[in-house]
Amino acid sequence: MQYFKIGKLAASHGLTGELILQHSLGKKTLLKDVEAIFIEQPKDNFIPHFIEKTSIKSDTETYIKIEGIDNKEVARKITPKDVWLQEDDFNKHKAKAAPIALLGYELIDGNTNLGAIIEVNEMPHQILCTILYKGNEALIPIHEANLIKMDDKNKKVYVEIPDGLLEIYG
């Protein structure tokens, strides 16, 4: 099963254990038909948290009520924690044009497949993509100057990586 990080539980809300989910899905969402969100505890061990109800706060935030969390003290214990969705749920709820939609795409430099994008961070003038390169997490910037083309059909991003950038990772 593959999981995609969509954001974090930023804060508790109210007295009944409701939480604020800050997400990067690129559109307002109620996470309709999503049974559970996942929190990674410990590394590579994803624990499901079942959704009771959701409501929209803004384009990037959703109020979320999780089973078993019924007061603000318990809610605060799981903030701020990263939130992950299973691949099928992620694909249903991401906006196609959102940078987070690049998760799972292969990053290609020239003729070299550098690996799958495992994390996407939006910055003011670029997107920072994380890949596993020679066993290390490598941050690769993508912006209009180094983006060659996007192949959505085959899930590939073609870039020209600056000389020397990959050497620092292995």
Give start-end residues of each CATH 2.30.30.240 domain in the chain.
Answer: 104-169
DSSP class per residue in the chain: --EEEEEEEEEEETTTTEEEEEE-SSS----TT--EEEEESSTT-EEEEEEEEEEE-SSSEEEEEETT--SHHHHHHTTTEEEEEEHHHHHHHS-TTSGGGGTTPEEEETTEEEEEEEEEEE-SS-EEEEEEETTEEEEEEE-TTTEEEEETTTTEEEE-PPTTTGGGG-
pLDDT at 2: 86
Return the CATH architecture of domain 104-169.
Answer: Roll (2.30)
User: For residue 99, what are the contacts with CB-CB under 8 A and spacing of at least 6?
Assistant: 24, 26, 120, 122, 127
Note the pTM of the prediction, 2 decimals: 0.78
Note whether 25 and 36 are within 8 A (CB).
no
CATH number, domain 3-94: 2.40.30.60
CA dihedral 145, 151, 154, 159 (to 10 degrees): -10
pLDDT at 81: 92
pLDDT at 142: 92
End-to-end Cα, the chain, rounded Å: 28
Provide the residue-wise pLDDT of the chain in tens; the chain has 170 residues. 789 999 999 999 999 999 999 999 999 999 999 999 999 887 778 999 999 999 999 999 999 999 999 999 999 999 999 999 999 999 899 988 888 899 999 999 988 999 999 999 888 888 999 999 888 899 999 998 899 999 989 999 999 998 888 888 87
Nearest to 155 by CA among 109, 108, 93: 108
Q: Which two tokens stand for residue 136?
A: 């290390």
Give start-end residues of each CATH 2.40.30.60 domain in the chain.
Answer: 3-94
pLDDT at 16: 94
Q: Which two tokens stand for residue 21?
A: 């989910």
